[in-house]
Copies of this chain bind each other. A is one copy, B any other.
Amino acid sequence: MVSTFEVLAEPRRREILDLLYAGERHVGELVERLGMPQPGVSKHLKVLRAAGLVEVRQEAQRRWYRLRLQPLVEVDQWLRPYRDLWERHLDALERHLDAMPEEGGR
């Protein structure tokens, strides 16, 4: 079984999740928006499905994919203690941050 972190390591897969954030999408839509060949998209979707990050609904030939949040909740849980660190000690965070000349943003 593949860990959620491994699945999220692929930029394309995070892109897919970001697209599904807005709501259900069928494969063709994803192919178009990602600008990558359909088999590649299907392959990533398979990985995402295996990890429980998406689920499928079939409608005629179309397959509609949508998010499943649960694995992300687990990632969030792993992150939580660290988040507590920088939220509780804001000064410590600044000590961490001031080492960076500038911040890249998103």
Contact = CB atoms under 8 A, between A and B. Distances in A.
A81 interface: yes
B69 A85 contact: yes
Number of copies: 2
Interface in A45-86: 55, 67-70, 72-79, 81-83, 85-86
Interface stretch (A7-15, A24-32, A36-44): A7-15
B21 A81 contact: yes
B82 A69 contact: yes
A79 B75 contact: yes
A34 interface: no
Q: Which 3 A-B pairs give the minimum distances between C-beta atoms?
A: A9-B9, A6-B9, A5-B9
